[in-house]
Each structure stands twice: as structure tokens, then as C-alpha cells.
A and B are shown apart, each in its own frame.
Chain A
Amino acid sequence: DSGVTQTPKHLITATGQRVTLRCSPRSGDLSVYWYQQSLDQGLQFLIHYYNGEERAKGNILERFSAQQFPDLHSELNLSSLELGDSALYFCASSVAGDSGELFFGEGSRLTVL
């Protein structure tokens, strides 16, 4: 158990819909990272938040947005969903976000039908 909690674990929805994925980092960790992993693909970095502020942005679509709240939990919002958005979405946390170990959650599996 990494200490990072992601909900929901599984989500099935239809094209055009909007979903929110939630991540609770390890206690004391200030950084939250979001990654997308499609079937048999590598991990695509989406976005990084540190203590409530956006720190780095990767291959995140304009239809996707994220935020980190004062209690340090984070939410990833996916809108106007397309079939290609079906993937595992991982959240990771670290203490500070520099040179440190990333602790990954178990992921949220999104299926868009």
C-alpha cells in the first residue's frame, strides 16, 4: 500500500460525458502528479501540482483540467469524453517534487463507451 488513494477504481461512461477522478496523496506529501496510461502504452505525464499550485504541464488535453485543493487532495476533470480517453489514470505523490520518490496509487480505470 503506497498510501495514495484514488477513487473511483473503475468508471464506465459514455462519449461526451464528464467525469472527475480524485486523488488523496500520502500524508505530508505536497506534490501530486497525474499520469494517463492507455492499453499497452507507456505512462503519459499530464500535470503536476505542488502545494496547490500548478508546477508542470505535460501532454494534457484542453478537455482535461486538474486542481489541488488546500487539503492537498487533487481532482482530475475529464470532459467531452472520447473513446480514446479510455485508460488507466494514475496519481502519484511525493514529499516535495524534486529528486524524490514518487508513490503511485492503484489507478482509476476509465472506460468510455
Chain B
Amino acid sequence: LAKTTQPISMDSYEGQEVNITCSHNNIATNDYITWYQQFPSQGPRFIIQGYKTKVTNEVASLFIPADRKSSTLSLPRVSLSDTAVYYCLVGDMAGRADDMRFGAGTRLTVKP
């Protein structure tokens, strides 16, 4: 059973807000939710991490409902350079192999 489920791909246009949802029905009490961004032929880059409610930084917001069974990464006013693969990870990252799995991610394409 997959630990996280994300849409395989999404399309958007420049200037729009993009919301990518990740389902994690079996999230454990100690688990955090972390999102990474990856451009072609580059290593993933940390975007944001949260445990509950809402977290915001300079590039994104992360919304986590009370039951924590899903989370939504929100990218405000995307540009062409936001075209990338976005990965959702769930775990306390305490060395468990399952916590290290990135899954297939969501391929976001931003169009002009």
C-alpha cells in the first residue's frame, strides 16, 4: 500500500495559483509532511514542511486539515520556472526505509 498518493501531472498557466494535494491516509502521530521540488537532472530541493494546520514560507504554503490524512501544497502565482516535479513525503524520517521513498511525484507544467 502506497504511503502517499499524488496526481501524476498537472498543468497551469503563468500567474495562477497551483494547489497540489497529497493523500496520506495512514499517517502516524509522529509523522511530518515534507514537499520537495525537482528540476530535470538536478537533485530535489526542499520546499516546505509541516505537521498540522498551515505553514507558509517565501515560496509556498502547506495546508494540513485536522485529520492530517491529506495535505495541499499551494504555489502562488506560478511562473514558467516552477515547471518541475513535486514530491510529497510523509514520515518522521527516523531512518525508516519507508520514510525515504519519494514516489512518482506530480509533474507540474506551467504554460505561458
Q: Which residues of A pack against B, CB within 8 Å?
A: 2, 4, 33, 35, 42-43, 45, 48, 50, 55-58, 88, 90, 92, 94, 97-107, 109
Q: Given contacts A56-B96, A98-B94, A102-B46, are A42 and B103 in contact (CB under 8 A)?
A: yes
| Contact present for A103 and B41 (CB under 8 Å) | no
| Contact present for B102 and A104 (CB under 8 Å) | no
Q: State the Cβ distance, B45 to closest chain A Cβ, in Å.
A: 7
Please measure, in the bound complex, the distance between the C-alpha atom of A58 and the C-alpha atom of B44, giving whole angstroms: 18
Q: Which residues of B pack against A, CB within 8 Å?
A: 32, 34, 36, 38, 41-46, 49, 87, 92-97, 99-105
Q: Which 3 A-B pairs have CB atoms at the shortest separation, nearest pair first?
A: A104-B43, A55-B95, A45-B100
| Contact present for A99 and B93 (CB under 8 Å) | yes
| Contact present for B95 and A98 (CB under 8 Å) | yes
Please measure, in the bound complex, the distance between the C-alpha atom of A57 and the C-alpha atom of B99, giving whole angstroms: 11
Q: Given contacts A43-B87, A58-B101, are A107 and B43 in contact (CB under 8 A)?
A: yes
| Contact present for B101 and A45 (CB under 8 Å) | yes
Point out the residues of chain A lying under 8 angstroms from B46, CB to CB.
101-103
In the complex, which of the residues B38, B93, B102, B104 contacts A100, with contact meaning CB atoms closer than 8 Å? B93
Q: State the Cβ distance, B98 to closest chain A Cβ, in Å.
A: 9
Q: State the Cβ distance, A105 to closest chain B Cβ, in Å.
A: 6
Given A35-B102, A42-B103, A58-B100, 9 additional A-B pairs, CB 8 A = A2-B45, A45-B97, A55-B95, A56-B95, A98-B95, A99-B94, A102-B36, A102-B46, A105-B43
Point out the residues of chain B lying under 8 angstroms from A105, CB to CB.
43
Q: State the Cβ distance, B57 to closest chain A Cβ, in Å.
A: 12
Q: State the Cβ distance, B36 to closest chain A Cβ, in Å.
A: 8
In the complex, which of the residues B32, B41, B97 contacts A58, with contact meaning CB atoms closer than 8 Å? B97
